[in-house]
Structure 1
Amino acid sequence: MKLFETLEQQLKKEPNFVTDNGELKKWVVLNKAQNFDEELIELLLANETLKEKFFVKVKDVLVLKQNLFIEFLEQKNYLNDSYTKYKNKVGLTIDGKYFKQRNEVALVWPFKDCILEGGQTKEEQKREEIFFNEILAQDEITQLLEPKVLTNAKRIDKDGEHPFNGFKRDAELNRKRGLPEDTITDNLIIKGNNLLALHTLKEEFAGKVKLIYIDPPYNTGNDSFGYNDSFNRSTWLTFMRNRLYAAKTLLSKDGIICVQCDDNENAYLKILMDEVFENRFLNNVAVKMSEASGVKMNHAKGRFPKLKEFILMYKMPNFKGFITVDKYEQKEWDPENNIFIEDLTEEQRSELIELEAKEINDQTDVNKANEILKKAKKISLATKLKDLEFENEDEKSEWLFKNSYRIIKTAGSSSLATLVKSLDKVPKQDIAAAVSKKGVLFFYITDFNRETKQPRLQVIFADSNIFKNPCDFWQDIKTTGAIAEEGGVKLSNGKKPEKILYRLIKMITNEGDVVLDYHLGSGTTAAVAHKMKRQFIGVEQLNYGENDSVVRLKNVINGDNSGISTEEDVQWKGGGEFVYLELKKYNQTFIEQIEEAKDTKTLLQIWEQMKAKSFLNYNVDIKKQNEHLEEFKTLSLAEQKQHLCELLDKNQLYVNLSSLNDTDFACTEEEKKVTKDFYRMK
């Protein structure tokens, strides 16, 4: 029963709410709702469906969602069509007022209160999409987001594909990572609509995923977001919002989600994610993704060429900090490193590093450091380089980095100057050590200018500055050249370097943690997670053929040596396995056949199959459809396709778990076995 029908039926139990001809006195009910009428509230609470939809529990007390209830009653249409309550305008509003009238801001767009299913199967397709209104189409949404039946399961390892033999649930691994012992520990690739797959995954992985990374369509008009809607940004935001809310339920309490996008939607996405993740913003990392060369520079006069993308990072409440930050080696020598130290060995520099690393230093450490530095003499680096007479710049650069342990620069420090001036005696040597009141060890040059307020006396060794924290601007990861060939698959647009995922996974997860990507594409996230011994879950609904994620993961298992394979802490040699699954299609099969059709004759053949095997919308009159076939033939091919798609019940695109034993859906014994195993059904 539709939600409005349920409400109307319940309200009509009160005679004062009904007119003489049996119609509901909506204005009376509205007035009662505005005044929190006790009689009305009792009537609503008496129905479980209405209680669930229009009340919220606060400290064991049920409170009427007054605004939601009134909004629902004020809609002009109630029945079968899902539609949006908002005007066709994108703006920033709160409580119906534009942001200029308020200090608080919330992003509002057409269809915000809707679910956008999103069902492209090929990257080049554009299609009209169906919106399900969260209030008015509650029944449709409940069906749409119900867990799905799983099919075509197979296990894949270095020996190829094998029949599915059950999910692995490694109790020891689960204890180690703090998850229930019966949690699935297999790597998974799921093919199907990613919104529906996320709701399917909730049954097994809610609260268990440490890292979600997605690289969704950027809504540029050139990518896979080809939804043929006049409010393209609204469509994109709805598409993202539905999936982000579902994904949030999968994150562990200390998890992180990272969403990569470009500047086309970055600002809108930031506000949306503030809403979804309750302002638990962590970082907006800028990543250099291309070089300032070629075609880009031909348009430099019109606007600055776009070289970067963004990774928006949001944390869950118990996130404590990054596990480690993957520092990178500078490629260019810092000219401020301009002093060479003679008579300092690499071994002696290591001893100084050990002293610096202590949590608290004392005078004993100062004495040790001064003894090490007693014979050290500083000379101009330029003089040293001149004496060495290098043949070319590459040779010189190599020598500089190799000898960075005995090259320094100086920095101004008034506090260190004050400390040194307070010493009873300064050692008679070029470089000496001192310790602060907080127990921090410093090195300084002894011949600094004592007349200036902030003399340059603090010694900073070049080797301590060669490796840098990337901070929130990542410009060190190569994004051109061999990247296109990583994993043995190609993606013409948007393929991400393995190094980006390597850095994120290393920062956020430990071995064995669960990593999810529900826009898997060519499989970069899964490939890197597998090489780094993390459990991966990948979801993809688009077909990439020979460049599919499954092909890539097979290459990884067989020892793919591209990407991060040669990193010191990876050294990938191959191995492992994953389970491939699909959401079982029903009407989706007909949608795909319609999309593939090249002529009217084929579409008419599909219509014959639809009449016999598909679930059609409740109001489709098959007899009338057949009577108007000649008129149907006069439509353009695109219009014919659209019409046939509209006849199909969109709730039945995939088979719901509740229909597993329904003979109409003809689930095989193998499908029942896989599905029951996944959901732990007896």
Structure 2
Amino acid sequence: MTTNLFTELEALLASDSQYAGEDGNLLKNKIVEAALQLKPEFIKLLLSNEKLKNNFFTEVEGILIFDKVKFQKFVSNKRFLPDSYTSFKNKIGLVGDEGDFLAESKEVVLSWPYKDCVLEGGQTKEDAKRNEVFWNEILAPDEINRLTEPKTLTNFVKYDSEGEHNVESISKNDNLIIKGNNLLALHSLKEKYAGQVKLIYIDPPYNTGNDSFQYNDSFQHSTWLTFMKNRLEIAFILLKDNGIIFIQCDDNEQAYLKVLCDSIFSPESFVDTFVWKNTDNAPTLSKKSRKNIEFIHCYEKKQNKSLSYHGRESDNSDAPLLNSGNPIKNLTFPPNSIHFNIPDGIYKKGIYESLQLLTDIEVLNSTNNNSVTLSGRFKWGQNTVYDEISNKTYFIIKTDKMSIRYQREDASIIAPDKFIDGLYLSKAIGISTNEDSKKEIDNLKLPFPSFPKPETLIAFLVKAVTTEGDLVMDFFLGSGTTAAVAHKMNRKYIGIDQMNYIKEVAVKRLCKVIKGENGGVSSTVNWKGGGSFVYCELAKSNQNFVDQIQTATTKNELQTIWQSMQETGFLSWKVNPKEINDKISDFTDLDLDDMKRFLIEVLDKNLLYVPYSEIDNEEFGISEEDKRLNKIFYAKKV
């Protein structure tokens, strides 16, 4: 029966020249496309055969419905047109269970548990994995009401070459360092800085299990993806239309991160994935290979085909003046404009391999002692040659074949290479190691190991896509390398981090930059010191209790904290303190870490920090000076 149906279909389609070639062979692709597009003449042709009609059409209340999926599977069978050798489509791409191309379905997304939620979390020490509970709680959308409202800022300090000062005023011209949860800080900046940031560079936790980003659930990939998605979505809003983001990661999550970024920024906005060879740290041994490279995904906010990025300066040491595709023309070169790597002497006019000498050349002291006219397929005209000579470009003939090249005194700028290592950075920026950055961090005598990214790498990215005065942002500030480089290169910057050591590391480092420290890229960019920045913090509410819980060392401390939380804290609406107190022994019987987790879970995460809308609420104790500065910071332009 099926064989007869194959024969019936082949015979029917062969009768129509639209679906058969001159040699009589059926055009399988045209047949499939006609079916998928429901072309009327094709449907009419199928209906003309009773067997085909009964097999591929279903009657619904007197109306015949064509089952194009069934038809496509049928004609894809190797028994139909067996010389196709395969039942698969003749296009390359990912397909779903039904054989449809994913890209054509418009329904393909990266999906994971809790994707629609917000990952709220805190971390105050780099070594959190070892000696404190790192908590991150996934909040469902219906649990969120005030989480992303702008937050009150406090503890303002201005730093310049004269030291620390009270902040008199604050504006978008100020460089900012903000301590606090970066998700909430980003949302606090949204109204003021939306569409203002030219470059975002972030070096987030890599989800390796070996760094400071630790998990308390079993969905490691999904937890990390939720964490990143929440922050990248607000980062997209903060970028200018021609803004660029660089996201550094290792190979543990880079594939997932790339797909996630495609969904936020769009695949068309993807620029490239740069590969950085981390030569400053010893290569680490993975299960199957040694790894010393990391990946930097680069996206534009909006695709800009006319925009080019600057990499290192080229030396133009091998730039031919001849181009075989150009018409023949004559060019005259004045004395001493051509350099020769052939012996001094007289070279007679005539036809050489690459060009024709229309005049003799007298080479003296490795340059032309006379005016010379050459004929060849030059890519420049006479006026361009004179312009280049006036700009100190000189021309080179290396052999007696007389193939002429040029070299400019001021090198041109080329697009960045995809592979970035120390040698490349030495050409792009001027120095190739991270030793100066490490020394700056080592001098701060941190109680934990720190491996800052080299200033050369950040300077390379800053140079590639920004100009002086552009705004640069890093919301995983860490040791402050991005802010330090932006400061030295005369870019404005915003840095955000929640770590307790932000004042001991990033702030102190920037104070040294202001005083003119000569490490990193200082000499390359001719940094002499100067400038200023403003430091501030998100004003804590429930976060104060989180800090106390994390640093507690005994169960008695935690019981005291629980009493304070009931008196002055904001508890989750799902929590009934009386029920907990009635069964307090269940609470105290928990081990220390579980007691900590429990207390953190019962806090209302919407009120970790003081909402700006509550700045005048006496319960939060915001000073009059902080109120004044917040109102300046959040003021809308009239």
Q: TM-score, normalised by structure 1?
A: 0.65
Q: What is the SS of the residue equivalent to 2:586? A: helix
Amino acid at match of 2:294: E
- Contact conserved, 1:270 with 1:312, CA < 8 A, in 2? yes
Matched residue, 1:674: 629
Tell me the distance in 1 between the aligned counterparts of 2:97 and 2:223: 21
2:295 aligned to 299, 305, 310, which one?
A: 310
**Alpha carbons of structure 1 residues 681 and 247: separation in structure 2 relative to 1, 3 Å:** same
Matched residue, 1:188: 176
Q: What is the SS of the residue equivalent to 2:567? A: helix
Deviation at 1:223, TM superposition (A): 1.5
**1:471 and 2:417 matched:** yes
Tell me the distance in 2 between the aligned counterparts of 1:375 and 1:606: 81
**1:229 and 2:217 matched:** yes
Tell me the distance in 1 between the aligned counterparts of 2:160 and 2:192: 23
Tell me the distance in 2 between the aligned counterparts of 1:474 and 1:329: 18
Greater displacement, 659-668 / 630-639: 659-668
Tell me the distance in 2 between the aligned counterparts of 1:99 and 1:251: 39
**Alpha carbons of structure 1 residues 305 and 657: separation in structure 2 relative to 1, 3 Å:** same
Deviation at 1:278, TM superposition (A): 1.4
Matched residue, 2:498: 541
- Contact conserved, 1:192 with 1:539, CA < 8 A, in 2? yes
Amino acid at match of 1:529: A
**1:584 and 2:539 matched:** yes
Tell me the distance in 1 between the aligned counterparts of 2:594 and 2:461: 45
**Alpha carbons of structure 1 residues 361 and 198: separation in structure 2 relative to 1, 3 Å:** farther
Deviations 1:494-527 (A, max 9, x none): 4111111111112211211111110100101111
Structure 1 stretches lacking a partner, 5+ long: 1-93, 169-183, 338-351, 381-415, 449-455
List aligned pairs for 1:274-423, cutoff 5 A: 274-279=262-267, 280-290=269-279, 296=284, 303-317=288-302, 319=304, 320-322=306-308, 324-327=310-313, 366-368=331-333, 371-372=335-336, 376-378=340-342, 420=355, 423=356
Deviations 1:291-348 (A, max 9, x none): 69x675xx59x63321211111111227442464333789xxx9xx9xxxxxxxxxxx
Deviation at 1:631, TM superposition (A): 2.5
Q: CA RMSD in A?
A: 3.7
1:486 aligned to 422, 427, 440, which one?
A: 440
Deviations 1:434-468 (A, max 9, x none): 553643778656744xxxxxxx9565779999998
2:125 aligned to 122, 137, 140, which one?
A: 122
Matched residue, 2:84: none
Matched residue, 2:483: 526
Over the matched positions of the two proteins, sequence identity in percent amounts to 41
List aligned pairs for 1:34-183, cutoff 5 A: 102-104=101-103, 105-125=108-128, 126-134=133-141, 137=142, 140-168=143-171
Structure having the higher Rg = 2
Deviations 1:586-636 (A, max 9, x none): 001101100100000100111111111000111322222222222322110
Amino acid at match of 1:632: F
- Contact conserved, 2:309 with 2:416, CA < 8 A, in 1? no
Tell me the distance in 1 between the aligned counterparts of 2:420 and 2:606: 43
Deviation at 1:147, TM superposition (A): 0.7
- Contact conserved, 2:145 with 2:606, CA < 8 A, in 1? no
Tell me the distance in 1 between the aligned counterparts of 2:266 and 2:414: 32
Matched residue, 1:197: 185
Q: What is the SS of the residue equivalent to 1:378? A: coil
**Alpha carbons of structure 1 residues 482 and 564: separation in structure 2 relative to 1, 3 Å:** closer
**Alpha carbons of structure 1 residues 308 and 435: separation in structure 2 relative to 1, 3 Å:** farther
Matched residue, 1:27: none
Q: What is the SS of the residue equivalent to 2:336? A: helix
**Alpha carbons of structure 1 residues 427 and 363: separation in structure 2 relative to 1, 3 Å:** farther
Deviations 1:389-419 (A, max 9, x none): xxxxxxxxxxxxxxxxxxxxxxxxxxx9986
Deviations 1:37-76 (A, max 9, x none): xxxxxxxxxxxxxxxxxxxxxxxxxxxxxxxxxxxxxxxx
Deviations 1:150-187 (A, max 9, x none): 1111211222221221114xxxxxxxxxxxxxxx2101
- Contact conserved, 1:116 with 1:132, CA < 8 A, in 2? yes
- Contact conserved, 1:253 with 1:316, CA < 8 A, in 2? yes
Tell me the distance in 2 between the aligned counterparts of 1:325 and 1:464: 15
Tell me the distance in 1 between the aligned counterparts of 2:338 and 2:480: 56
2:468 aligned to 511, 521, 525, which one?
A: 511
Q: What is the SS of the residue equivalent to 1:548? A: helix
- Contact conserved, 1:289 with 1:479, CA < 8 A, in 2? no
Matched residue, 2:5: none
Tell me the distance in 2 between the aligned counterparts of 1:363 and 1:318: 40
**Alpha carbons of structure 1 residues 446 and 671: separation in structure 2 relative to 1, 3 Å:** closer
Amino acid at match of 2:587: F
Matched residue, 2:4: none
Tell me the distance in 2 between the aligned counterparts of 1:661 and 1:540: 26
- Contact conserved, 1:211 with 1:257, CA < 8 A, in 2? yes
Tell me the distance in 2 between the aligned counterparts of 1:581 and 1:482: 28
Structure 2 stretches lacking a partner, 5+ long: 1-93, 345-350, 386-394, 426-431
**Alpha carbons of structure 1 residues 510 and 545: separation in structure 2 relative to 1, 3 Å:** closer
**1:623 and 2:578 matched:** yes
Q: TM-score, normalised by structure 2?
A: 0.70
Tell me the distance in 2 between the aligned counterparts of 1:507 and 1:303: 35
Count of residues paired in the alignment: 495
Greater displacement, 433-442 / 660-669: 433-442
- Contact conserved, 1:260 with 1:310, CA < 8 A, in 2? yes
Tell me the distance in 1 between the aligned counterparts of 2:380 and 2:559: 84
